[in-house]
Amino acid sequence: MLRDLQRRFVREVERGDARLSIYSESLAAGLAEALADVYPVCGALVGDDFFDALALRFARETPSRSPDLNDYGEALPAFLERLEPARSLPYLPDVARLEWLCHRAFHAGDAADFDLEALGAIPAERHGSLVLCLAPSVGLIDSRYPISEIWSMHQGPRSEDTTLDLDAGSERCVVWRSGLEVRVEALSSFDSWILLTAFSQQVALEDVVGELDDPTTLGEALHEVIARGWVSGFREPG
């Protein structure tokens, strides 16, 4: 059933391509090739022919609005949610979101080292008003599916006996770059997730404490997110 649906979709896109001008066809093909570089795991999950066809359709419907090709493709996950032939793989849009975060992490600026000395110079009574800043490469995604495992299974050689349990439960993942290596990790600590999410929304420390499972673990959670390089600085309000 899925294979037949995919074949019909590929034929439909190919017929549409025949009506494109030479310039438009060349432009769409170039954008589709760029998408294949950004979303290799999605390509592996659906197969080359199917991904090429969906990438061409996306390129025809979604023109680039930036001179930098690295900015192209952010809307693909939402496109996949609307694409009928892809609905048999309900985790595909979230895998695409994870791959986009990996792409952005790779091209993000370098993070400064967290200045503990500068933090120590601020009186303790003002610490609660501080807003901690995520490192430029850090991205967050909350998914119903084990997307970090799906992503990991497609990094390097894959063992023939590797299996995936799609009912393993939801994942809260952090994506970041260490040196030139992009890393993906499913967080086991809910408090660390709460902190990172709050910092991404520029919430002050004093407003985060009440959201933690155990407010007494704030120091431990802060130490983790700073030591891992996920937080690179702080600012005072105003």
**What pLDDT was estimated at residue 161?**
59
Does the residue 179 lie in any domain?
Answer: yes
Residues 84 and 122 occupy one common structural domain: no
Residues 85 and 115 occupy one common structural domain: no
> What is the tens place of the pLDDT at every residue in 6-17?
555 555 555 554
Residues 11 and 48 occupy one common structural domain: yes
Residues 130 and 229 occupy one common structural domain: yes
Identity of residue 118: A
Residues 116 and 231 occupy one common structural domain: yes
Helix residue ranges, H only, 39-167: 40-46, 48-61, 76-82, 92-107, 116-120, 147-153
**What pLDDT was estimated at residue 176?**
97
> Which residue in the block uniquely carries the two structure tokens 């902190």?
195
Percent of the chain with pLDDT over 90: 53
Residues 116 and 211 occupy one common structural domain: yes
Q: Which DSSP category does 137 fall into? A: T
**What pLDDT was estimated at residue 3?**
59
**What pLDDT was estimated at residue 22?**
46
Does the residue 97 lie in any domain?
Answer: no
The whole-angstrom separation of Cα 127 and Cα 206 is 8
CA angle 9, 60, 102 (to 5 degrees): 90
Does the residue 101 lie in any domain?
Answer: no
By residue range, what is the domain housing residue 10?
2-89
Does the residue 41 lie in any domain?
Answer: yes
Tokens (6 digits) for 22: 């030479």
**What pLDDT was estimated at residue 81?**
96
Query: Which domain-ending residue is among 59, 89, 119?
Result: 89
Tokens (6 digits) for 108: 């993000």
Residues 66 and 182 occupy one common structural domain: no
Binning pLDDT at 50, 70 and 90, where does residue 23 land?
very low
Tokens (6 digits) for 104: 């952005």
Nearest to 72 by CA among 42, 102, 34, 23: 34
Binning pLDDT at 50, 70 and 90, where does residue 73 land?
very high
> Which residue in the block uniquely carries the two structure tokens 């933690």?
212
Tokens (6 digits) for 134: 């995520």
Q: What is the domain count for the chain?
A: 2
The whole-angstrom separation of Cα 56 and Cα 202 is 38
Does the residue 195 lie in any domain?
Answer: yes
Nearest to 215 by CA among 196, 194, 200: 194
Mean pLDDT estimate for the chain: 86
SS3 235: strand
> What is the tens place of the pLDDT at every residue in 189-206?
888 999 999 999 999 988
Tokens (6 digits) for 220: 């431990």
Does the residue 95 lie in any domain?
Answer: no
**What pLDDT was estimated at residue 191?**
87
Does the residue 105 lie in any domain?
Answer: no
Single pTM value for the model: 0.86
Does the residue 96 lie in any domain?
Answer: no
More confident residue, 102 or 128: 102
